[in-house]
Structure 1
Amino acid sequence: MSDPTFPAYPILTGVGLLLVLVPFPWHFRASNAGTCLYMLWSAVASLTGVVNSILWHGNTDDKAPAWCEISVHLSLSMMTAIPASALCITRRLYIITNLSTVEFTRRQRRRAVAIDLLIGLALPVLQIPLQYVVQSRRYDIYEDIGCQPAIVNTILTYPLVILWPAVLSIISACYCAFTLYMFISRRSEFNKCINKHLLSPTSSLGQYLRLTALASTQFFISLPTSFYTLYLWLMQPGVIIPYESWAYIHTGFSHVQQVPASVWRYDRNVEIAIELARWSIPFSSVAFFLFFGLSDEARKQYKMLFGKMFDACRPGRSVGSPRRPQRWSQCVPRFEAY
């Protein structure tokens, strides 16, 4: 059975991989941990999707065991990582909007970054050993999809693996709701404080609204996907088996199951779940670029970058010669999302 999404999926996902990393340098310089984690996890997810869709297009050969060992753990971690990064963003927006708790000191800013790293980095990494508890085989190989984790349907699977994306999305939605309410009720006071303490004067409100829109978009992607995945797990044939023992779950662990496209596409629900999960990655990457890669601040950064490149390549300029002033880029404000 031919893959109807090939080569559209690897091409669009590859484009998303490049686009999502475009705003990374200035977010990194501004110490925006939540947005940086969102970009990095989206890039890792895009890279994994591109490699898998190309290597296993039309086959289920076990041709890259080392890659599969790594990618299956990353795939489940990324189910948690992207909603966790969105939670970091919404939590930070709530702190900004709640004027009584705005961070002013450098120590408080470092503490906020550390909490973001704990949520958006440490929590997804923790998923790697947790998923191994309920992993029955090294991995499965799905034709046209690539390496997939082999998770057994036990009672422990839900708190250890399945429920995390939904829980994080719900918490993020609560932060979004509180943020929007406080923003509407205290807008004038909010604008005065945020311009003074947190953002550049020319970009404060626009950056704030774009971050809010990004977090809301990610919520509408992650929550339906996670609940649909939960529904499919609960509706699997048979019953949820008890976790009898480590040895029982990991019996025949070295076996690699190869699943042709005609098999996994036969069940319509499974096909929808797989396609929905993997297409959400390029959609999230492109959405991020549309929110931040085309903003006024981003265009100023592009002008400054291209101006430096043009100046460096200008005929007659030697290596030691002084640089020609870039009049339209000297006053570019520092890019800060929050």
Structure 2
Amino acid sequence: MHPEFTPVSFLAALSLLLPLPSQWRARNVATLSIIAWLFVLNFVYGVDAIIWSDNVNIVVPVWCDITSKIIIGSTFALPAACLCICIHIEHVASVNRGRTLLSDKRTRQLFELFMCFGLPMVSMGLHYIVQGHRFDIIEGYGCRPATYVSIPAIFLIWLPPLVLSVISLGFACASFVHFTRRRSKFAHHLETSRNGLTTFRYFRLMLMAVVEMIWNIMVTSYTLWFVAMDVRPWTNWDDVHWDFSRIDLYPAAFMPKIALTNYYLVWWVVPASTFIFVAFFAFGKDAVNEYTACMMWIRQNVLKRTNERTAPNSTPLTEYVICSQH
């Protein structure tokens, strides 16, 4: 049905390996969580596209139980991770560094762990409140979470990610205000704050978070508009969860065109978000320097080749350290 889905999904997943080593060494929990969530989502989308490319057969129900919850958690995890990034860069740019407990790196990491992984797990549990049945299988797309579209569902599932995105933009705006107020000494301020950020890295983080948040607001608003057309009344728990074990199947031939268009547009959100993230982190000057150093280390230690200007036994220590951590 959509032969491009599988290669695009796996290519997006593999592209996330490019920024992984540098982010792992930096122990940046928020960006690592974005990599983790996007990698898992792309992998799930790729597998689903293979299994259900032209059918709605119930072949791996446990897989669907797990992945449908992961999809719910990701809608919270990605805006929460960007919020953590925006809070961090706002704090770094702030004159008063001691006004929040996030100044302690370990405390900040624990906070980010909760926001990026704890909060999504909570959302997975809360989803059961508005989960009308086990899950759906859509031809060409695979497993998707089943949600009883109602006012409680809007407040539990779709509104919180939108709020997180708006708050993130607020912190990003505050960061930009801090920069404009002390732009002449901003680079020196970043250097003395000992956070490992240069002016370029600072703006790259802020721009990435802003772009991802604007993108997320657009997608979430569109999704909210689409589901709002079919809001049903919340009666009681028994009615909403009646016949909970059923699995609804949606062959493409029997689905309205507007629904198919919506699923197609929403599917592209994950790989598009992935490529946006990779564009910001995988092609910067520092990343290119790492790739060059890694290639040099492989050339000298694996292929046993040396440059004419380099003695055979004089492998640069910095290149070895960089690549040995990959």
TM-score above 0.5, yes or no: yes
Which stretch has the larger CA shift, 94-103 or 182-191? 94-103
> What residue ranges of structure 1 are gaps of 5+ in the alignment?
333-338
Q: Determine if contact 1:94/1:179 at 8 Å carries over to the other structure.
A: yes
In structure 2, relative to structure 1, the CA distance for the partners of 1:138 and 1:316 (3 Å cut) is same
* Residue 209, structure 1, aligned to residue 198, structure 2: no
Displacement of 1:311 in angstroms is 2.2
Q: Deviations over 1:249-293 (max 9, x none)?
A: 2211111111011333x241x334322222111111111111111
In structure 2, relative to structure 1, the CA distance for the partners of 1:240 and 1:314 (3 Å cut) is closer
Distance 2:304 2:97 in 1: 53
Q: Deviations over 1:75-134 (max 9, x none)?
A: 111111111111111111111111312699998111111111121111111111100111
Partner of 1:80: 76
Distance 1:298 1:189 in 2: 26
1:228-243, aligned counterparts within 5 Å? Answer: 228-236=222-230, 240-243=232-235
Q: Determine if contact 1:156/1:243 at 8 Å carries over to the other structure.
A: no
SS of 2:150's equivalent in the other structure is: coil
Displacement of 1:7 in angstroms is 2.2
Q: Which amino acid aligns with 1:251?
A: W
Displacement of 1:38 in angstroms is 1.1
SS of 1:7's equivalent in the other structure is: coil
In structure 2, relative to structure 1, the CA distance for the partners of 1:328 and 1:72 (3 Å cut) is closer
Partner of 1:283: 272
Partner of 1:139: 135
Displacement of 1:302 in angstroms is 1.1
What TM-score, normalized to structure 1?
Answer: 0.87
In structure 2, relative to structure 1, the CA distance for the partners of 1:18 and 1:63 (3 Å cut) is same
In structure 2, relative to structure 1, the CA distance for the partners of 1:170 and 1:105 (3 Å cut) is closer
Q: Determine if contact 2:162/2:221 at 8 Å carries over to the other structure.
A: yes
In structure 2, relative to structure 1, the CA distance for the partners of 1:330 and 1:254 (3 Å cut) is closer
1:222 aligned residue (208, 216, 224): 216
Q: Which has the higher helix share?
A: 2
In structure 2, relative to structure 1, the CA distance for the partners of 1:155 and 1:14 (3 Å cut) is same
1:153-302, aligned counterparts within 5 Å? Answer: 153-200=149-196, 204-236=198-230, 240-245=232-237, 247-264=238-255, 266-268=256-258, 270-302=259-291
Larger RCO (CA within 8 A; separation ≥ 6) = 1
Partner of 1:308: 297
Q: Which amino acid aligns with 2:232?
A: I
Q: Determine if contact 2:92/2:195 at 8 Å carries over to the other structure.
A: no
Q: Determine if contact 2:97/2:103 at 8 Å carries over to the other structure.
A: no
Partner of 2:314: 324
Partner of 2:18: 22
Distance 1:136 1:94 in 2: 41
Distance 1:243 1:32 in 2: 45
Equivalent residue pairs, number: 318
Root-mean-square deviation (CA, aligned residues, Å) is 2.6
Distance 2:103 2:191 in 1: 20
Q: Deviations over 1:139-196 (max 9, x none)?
A: 1100001001111123321222121221111111111111112212221232112123
